[in-house]
């Protein structure tokens, strides 16, 4: 097939699939559009069946890891981990919205780093709403923080974001080496985000609040917290011995699932889990989001067609070679723009084949761009789109103009400091 025609069709299908994912007509899952589109690009020869299968095989370990982490996050939520975190933040802030914002930043950053940005958006955002209401604070600064931190705090660990898992495979780095190189960019981006938030939401934060009224404390679920910490340690250990970290995530999820499904445990109905449906095998399967995982695999095939028919060559012509500070800034900037044009997941799939030959530095710079860039627009990441739906469920309408103006300040600031921090980390630690 003519390369130009194949590229036009592939790009059109990619944009159509992303539009479907944004709109989700009648609540249909994203895979409804992505799977047929993947079939079309194979049928017209934009990508061969062999290339499609190879792309799928490369994505399968990443998708399996994502499924395990999603189940692990759901099991932590069932045990009341997020409610306990919200209770601790409410008590620690003493009714001061500024301190509440700092607490939300800390909890959201840790949740994103350890349990992925999806856990922050889906499981923590409702807790943030409830915590702000409990202390009489305006919810907007804190709820916007959960959205921004879901993206900007997802730099630290390979498990923090699906894009990180893809970048880890392309970089050739170990789990611990990845974390060591990204620790400074992670801290720098969160610090820059916090400074901007304190100034941008100064009026909301000055509105005041009140100490939480006396009520029963939500205890920290010791067993779930211990399993989570052991699982995190397992990520590092499996990396050191050359075993896929998916086994550590699956092990942690299995331990919590077996305990949660025991008849005696289900009969206890922990107070922290009140209002949630009883834990079932079917519920755990839903928590793994199988249709979303299928969407990721199909999207990978579509992006492969786009890259093979011209986008990869175009990106390669734009990006500089090497790991100099200028080159890293250019890669991060292009990645951020691309994420806001075609979404961060397709963007990283398109960028990695181009930047990976230059070494881990450009790969991590591209990751900074696709993770921080989505704070500029709603379409930059699927997590931000999901955050919008959660706000609608709480009868809160996010203002597009307000979100975009905030992003115009935070995104350039966080991109700059995070890339500078990455450059410094590479210089100090090497690759």
Residue 396 — very low, low, confident or very high, per pLDDT cuts 50/70/90?
A: confident
Task: Measure the CA–CA gap between 304 and 54, rounded to whole angstroms.
Answer: 10
For the segment 298-351, what is each residue's pLDDT rounded down to a tens digit? 988 998 888 888 777 788 778 888 889 999 999 999 999 999 988 888 889 889
Domain hosting residue 208, numbered range: 3-429
The total domain count for the chain is 1
Residue 427 — very low, low, confident or very high, per pLDDT cuts 50/70/90?
A: very high
Mean pLDDT of 388-394: 77
For the segment 248-276, what is each residue's pLDDT rounded down to a tens digit? 889 999 999 998 887 655 555 444 444 55
Mean pLDDT of all residues belonging to the chain: 87
Mean pLDDT of 21-47: 89
Query: For residue 381, what pLDDT is reported?
Result: 86
Q: What is the largest CA-CA distance in the chain?
A: 70
Q: Does residue 2 have a pLDDT over 80?
A: no
- Among 87-96, 114-123, 310-319, 369-378, the range scoring the smallest mean pLDDT is 310-319
Query: For residue 274, what pLDDT is reported?
Result: 46
For the segment 180-199, what is each residue's pLDDT rounded down to a tens digit? 999 999 999 999 999 999 99
């Amino acid at each position: 097939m003519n390369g130009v025609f194949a590229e036009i069709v592939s790009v059109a299908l990619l944009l159509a699939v992303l539009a479907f994912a944004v709109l989700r007509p009648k609540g249909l899952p994203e895979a409804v559009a992505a799977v047929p589109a993947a079939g079309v690009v194979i049928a017209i020869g934009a990508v061969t069946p062999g290339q499609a299968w190879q792309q799928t095989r490369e994505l399968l370990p990443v998708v399996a890891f994502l499924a395990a982490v999603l189940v692990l996050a759901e099991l932590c939520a069932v045990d009341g981990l997020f409610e306990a975190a919200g209770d601790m933040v409410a008590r620690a802030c003493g009714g001061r919205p500024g301190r509440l914002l700092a607490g939300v930043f800390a909890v959201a950053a840790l949740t994103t780093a350890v349990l992925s940005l999806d856990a922050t958006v889906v499981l923590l955002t409702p807790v943030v709403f409830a915590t702000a209401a409990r202390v009489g604070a305006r919810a907007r600064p804190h709820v916007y923080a959960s959205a921004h931190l879901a993206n900007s705090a997802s730099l630290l660990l390979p498990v923090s974001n699906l894009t990180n898992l893809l970048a880890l495979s392309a970089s050739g780095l170990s789990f611990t080496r990845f974390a060591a190189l990204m620790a400074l960019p992670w801290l720098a981006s969160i610090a820059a985000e916090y400074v901007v938030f304190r100034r941008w939401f100064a009026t909301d934060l000055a509105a005041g609040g009140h100490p939480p009224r006396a009520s029963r404390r939500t205890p920290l679920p010791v067993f779930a917290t211990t399993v989570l910490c052991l699982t995190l340690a397992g990520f590092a250990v499996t990396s050191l011995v050359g075993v896929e970290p998916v086994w550590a995530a699956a092990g942690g999820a299995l331990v919590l699932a077996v305990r949660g499904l025991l008849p005696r445990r289900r009969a206890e109905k922990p107070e922290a889990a009140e209002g949630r449906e009883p834990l079932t095998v079917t519920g755990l399967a839903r928590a793994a989001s199988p249709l979303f995982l299928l969407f990721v695999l199909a999207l990978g095939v579509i992006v492969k067609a786009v890259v093979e028919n011209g986008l990869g060559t175009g990106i390669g012509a734009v990006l500089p070679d090497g790991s100099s500070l200028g080159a890293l800034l250019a890669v991060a900037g292009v990645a951020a723009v691309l994420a806001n044009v075609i979404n961060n997941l397709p963007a990283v799939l398109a960028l990695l084949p181009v930047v990976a030959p230059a070494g881990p530095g450009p790969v991590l710079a591209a990751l900074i761009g696709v993770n921080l860039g989505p704070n500029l627009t709603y379409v930059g990441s699927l997590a931000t789109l999901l955050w919008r739906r959660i706000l609608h469920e709480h009868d809160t309408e996010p203002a597009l103009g307000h979100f975009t103006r905030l992003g115009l300040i935070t995104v350039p600031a966080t991109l700059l400091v995070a890339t500078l921090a990455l450059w410094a980390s590479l210089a100090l630690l090497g690759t």
